[in-house]
Amino acid sequence: MPAFEYTALNNRGRQEQGILEADSSRQVRQLLRDKGLSPLTVDVTSRQQAGQSRWADWFSPSLTVHERALVTRQIATLIAAGLPVEEALLAVSRQSEKPRTKSILITVRSKVMEGFSLANGLAEYPRAFPDLYRATVAAGESAGHLDMVLNRLADFTESELESRQRVQQAMVYPIILFALTVAILAGLLGYVVPDIVKVFADVGQDLPVLTIFIINLSDFVKDWGLLVLVFIILFALGVSRALQVTAVRLQYDRRLLHLPLVAKVSRGLNTAQFASTLSILSASGVPLVEAMRIAGQVLSNTWLKLKVMEATVKVSEGSSLHVALDQSGYFPPMMLHMIASGESSGELDNMLVRVANHMQQDVEMLLGIILNLFGPMMLLIMGGAVFTIVMAILLPIINLNQLVG
């Protein structure tokens, strides 16, 4: 049965909104009247209405990572308890407190009730349920282990959420320090230094080189600071626009993989993401070539994505996985050795899980070191800048005292 979104008036004259399943809009109106409501609008739920009900939804995923993990865990629990898929979807939709999530689940249930598989129903919302998610669900349905696969998906999604939250929490302190540094320097150069300069304007003594430099810098900030800020914003927008061009983005991502420190972070993040995705797809029964194709699509680096596509073609032609990845030249030796061991022992699925965990730990350790160093570095920069400005102000005072003495 299709799902309908309605707006109706209750006995107090207040509007109520919700979703009902029925054969037609006429039946929905009758159901509302039976509940003592006066229907105003009744519309078929669509992907645009459910997943993008507000303008802000165009700039955010239809489901957050936390929402997707919670929904997946609930559906898996109910299916493992013996409930049919459509009943599990209905129960989870009623459990959800967010109208958008409820609307998505009811629409997916409607597709399942029409005879479509759960994976096909989820395909109505590609932003809420990405390729990795849908392919894994399809593999679980075909293998008859949907509850186990959904639990694995929930574990994977929750692990992804925890990693993201750790990075975000670690970046709070450095970002605050950076903002304070910029604000303090702008305040000193824009307001404090000009007032101090007035004191020495009529003295007639030669000012130290450091003081002259700070004065010139202060004048530049006052005269051109706003223009420079606008230029930086326009430059950032221009770079962002240029990176939307496929050829430019490809060359940009290629250079990132060869920069000294950035390369290690970029390679680590992307290879860990590839290993994690490939492990969950392979363990869920997705064929290796299809798993590589999907895992390659979720990579953020377009150049590495191209290399994975080339490796996928080689695997489809009969090459082993570790050889195909080795020829790309961007995957770490430890990862390749572990995959080769898994292929030779016939336990590639288990080895891919170990590889994913190992890569994820390496990336988190590397990011932790970088973020931990970034905070003290910002303190040193802020302290050094403030010390320089203070010395530029004190030097003329010291020289004046010597002349008086």
4's enclosing H/E stretch is strand 3-9
Cα separation of 370 and 379, whole Å?
15
Cα separation of 124 and 111, whole Å?
9
Q: What's the pLDDT score for residue 230?
A: 92
pTM above 0.75, yes or no: no
Kindly list the averaged pLDDT for each block of 10 residues, start to end, along the chain of length 405.
Answer: 70 73 72 79 57 41 78 89 88 85 86 84 83 77 77 78 75 79 78 71 68 80 83 91 86 87 82 80 80 80 89 90 88 89 86 82 80 80 83 76 54
Cα separation of 17 and 279, whole Å?
42
* Cα 216 to Cα 141, 213, 223, 365, 392, distances in angstroms: 70, 5, 10, 43, 12
